A and B are shown apart, each in its own frame.
Chain A
Amino acid sequence: MTPKLPIYMDNHATTPVDPRVLDAMLPYFLGDFGNAASRSHVFGWNAERAVEQAREQVAASIGASGREIVWTSGATESDNLAIKGAADFYRDRGNHIITAVTEHKAVLDTCKRLEKAGFEVTYLPVERDGRVNPQAVADAMTDRTIVVSLMLANNEVGTINPVAEIGQVVKARGAIFHIDAVQGVGKIAFDVASTNADLVSLSAHKMYGPKGVGALYVRRKPRVRITPIIDGGGHERGMRSGTLNVPGIVGFGKAAEISTAELADEGKRLLALRERLRLGIEARVTNTVLNGSLAHRLPGSLNISFAYVEGEALMMALKDVAVSSGSACTSASLEPSYVLRAMGVPVEMAHTSIRFGLGRFNTEEEVDYVIDLVGQKVKKLREMSPLWEMAQSGVDINGIQWAGQH
């Protein structure tokens, strides 16, 4: 029986809002629509109470206290605030920042802007499995290092960084440790104590909450300070001015509460589903490569290269299934995925990669349908592929002098 189409398997890009989250949000649009900063009447008090409850819910999801949570418009803003804010506040202690080549653009572009402003940035490489080596962090640190920013889990390949070990390295040298935890929180166990995190970026729409709202954890013990990047009415203890997105925040809180409560069970379910997808594809299709560590990977995440078949063509063939690809053809810049390249994936294999992101609402039926479809479509595209033809007749593709190489 065909599952309902289209099927969504791109949960790293965004997630649907959980109906329970939407229910929690609705009252704050019509009846309880007050501004949480309106201190003098019941509309404001109700909004404020809801915001404070959400604050505790989000804090609990990372083992923090509500007073350490700052609301933002999303993780991109949180990344900007964390890195620019800490770099500026602690600039008297040094001007060196460490990050990795595989970070999200919100971190990389922020670092590039800081370089223009006179900071020095080290972009660490990653191992072939996609993870940062804590020793590499230790080796890169100097007495001028003030901020280290490394993600918990990568959005493209799903690999998980050894953030606890990295945290120990950073703490031993006394720099500020920022973790972009967007892809990991709500999916795997994470807490600020065991990772020595000083700043943590979070996003609602990656955990079945609404888009347009995020948070930044800012450690209080010992106290971490940041210079705000938005000036105004002094909201969020002066760290982030602007009227709070009350319904969004309420939704975020509910999403965090649900994810925390269901983390273990959902993790098991998604892992089983993901392995079903992976093993199903590997049984049906030859010449596939898994990109990134299998062991240290988010439960629902899969990034596979299908040799001799280009990623965008495969996505077009998998119509009615939403996934994404590391192929150059899918990027506006026509560059293949910089994350896959940083992991040492050969360029031609980067062009053949497909990212599957399974989530809360995916089913076994959908997985089985996709396995079958992938099997059929890869076969069809390989029949149309001159590279597959060459490989089948024993030609060494790597030995050819390609006319079009640039």
Chain B
Amino acid sequence: MAYSGKVIDHYENPRNVGSMDKEALNVGTGLVGAPACGDVMKLQIQVSDAGVIEDAKFKTFGCGSAIASSSLATEWIKGMTLEQAMSVRNTQIVEELNLPPVKIHCSVLAEDAIKSAIADYRKKQRGSQAQVGV
């Protein structure tokens, strides 16, 4: 199984590797997978007041396809609204990266990571609104 050129590209030239401040109110953090499975993705989003993803960062413990899937995810969701980001599907990632069947689960995890980050952001927003008494 040779790696697809796109997968290698995401590894050699990773986009958006890094971390944001977990505690910041406008940051959502998704952490999915498990070390025991060999796949862990952390995906973070920084969201504007208008609900647009201004920035996204990721870190991944996993194979080349997992790294590429999460890297691609952060590339795509930058500039999207939260609703648009929620509708990113793993099948789109599979197609873009030419993932073979045995690697499809990597794309599923990336989709989960996006949703997890959005859920975390929304939870924090609800929490802060409650405090303000809105």
Seen from chain A, the residues whose Cβ lies within 8 Å of a Cβ on chain B are: 308-313, 316-317, 327-330, 332, 334, 336, 346-348, 351, 383-389, 397, 402-406
Seen from chain B, the residues whose Cβ lies within 8 Å of a Cβ on chain A are: 3, 8, 11, 14, 17, 19, 31-42, 59-67, 102, 105, 109, 112, 116
In the complex with contacts A317-B11, A332-B102, A387-B35 CB distance below 8 A: yes
Complex-state Cα separation, A346 to B47, whole angstroms:
38
Known: A402-B36, A404-B34. 11 other contacts (CB 8 A): A310-B62, A312-B64, A316-B64, A329-B62, A348-B36, A389-B19, A389-B42, A397-B35, A402-B35, A404-B33, A404-B109
Whether A348 pairs with B35 at a CB distance below 8 angstroms is yes
Whether B63 pairs with A310 at a CB distance below 8 angstroms is yes
In the complex with contacts A312-B63, A329-B63, A385-B61, A336-B17 CB distance below 8 A: no
Residues of A within 8 A of B112 (CB): 404
Whether A313 pairs with B64 at a CB distance below 8 angstroms is yes
Residues of A within 8 A of B61 (CB): 308-310, 385-388
Residue in B closest to A402 when the chains form the complex, CB atoms: B34
Residues of A within 8 A of B37 (CB): 328, 404-406
In the complex with contacts A310-B62, A312-B64, A384-B67, A336-B39 CB distance below 8 A: no
Complex-state Cα separation, A403 to B61, whole angstroms:
15
Residues of A within 8 A of B17 (CB): 383-384
Residue in B closest to A347 when the chains form the complex, CB atoms: B36
Residues of B within 8 A of A334 (CB): 102, 105
How distant is A395 from chain B, measured CB to nearest CB, in Å?
A: 11
Residues of B within 8 A of A386 (CB): 31, 40-42, 59-61
Residues of B within 8 A of A347 (CB): 35-36, 38
B32, B38, B59: the one contacting A384 at CB < 8 Å is B59
Whether A405 pairs with B63 at a CB distance below 8 angstroms is no
Complex-state Cα separation, A327 to B103, whole angstroms:
14
Residue in A closest to B7 when the chains form the complex, CB atoms: A316
Complex-state Cα separation, A404 to B41, whole angstroms:
10
19 contacts between A and B (CB under 8 A): A310-B61, A311-B63, A313-B11, A313-B63, A316-B11, A316-B63, A316-B64, A328-B37, A329-B63, A334-B105, A346-B36, A386-B61, A389-B59, A402-B40, A403-B32, A403-B34, A404-B34, A404-B109, A405-B34
